[in-house]
Amino acid sequence: MTLTDHFDNAIPPVFYHEHQSFLDKFSEVNKEVSRYVHGSKGIIDVPIFNTKDMKLGLGLYLIDFIRKSEDQSFKEFCYGKNLAPVDLDRIINFVFQPEYHIPRMVSTENFKKVKIREISLEEAVTASNYEEINKQVTNKKIALQTLFLSITNQKEDVALYILSNFEITRQDVISIKHELYDIEYLLSAHNSSCKVLEYFINKGLVDVNTKFKKTNSGDCMLDNAIKYENAEMIKLLLKYGATSDNKYI
């Protein structure tokens, strides 16, 4: 258990709390809540308690806070003999924002799979979910769609997987359409894979000197590589005879 949410040592300002009607009863303590629970080191100094010690830890920190508070009416309320369970809950959630973490739940392999909705092809690609990809890619048309998604999402592993499992031709690549970008642009965009690009070049799927027709019309892949300062891609393209009108080459 942590005394605050998401392992953050700082208690948020009082107006974030849900028990606003409860807080309105007090004046001084409202100013005291927004603070570090422990020390002054922020998130690197967060009190964490195991299941054995969490009640004791919460109690001691709560007592320490109440004792240091200058709000007399708040102190009297906390020390009241007729304090109801709901009042104690409000005090704890006002002074802290405890969060329970259950690592034992995530350390087991005994999970029940609950299917909430279908996984889209793009989600399967971005997650490198090969089980789902294999389930959905039932023909070459879908394989080309998957290849396109892997290039646009810069998923090198999925792109190479599709290329190694399907016979992709130059005509197939020409059939891949994008509203804004040519396939050559996408292959040489920022952080694009040199391995995927080299595969396309070696198999004759693209020409290294093809001019873009859409975004950055007239430029070529080498221009992109230069713009993004991708030394590895520049070297690769020059190796395969790429040229450019760029005066800085």
Enzyme catalytic residues = 99
Contacts of 132 (CB under 8 A, 6+ apart): 119, 124
Q: With contact defined as beta carbons under 8 Å apart, do 47 and 36 qualify?
A: no
Tokens for 199, please give them: 């595969």
Residue that is written with structure tokens 């570090």 in the block: 36
Half-sphere exposure of 50 (CA within 13 A, CB side): 2
- Other Cβ atoms less than 10 A from the Cβ of 148: the count is 20
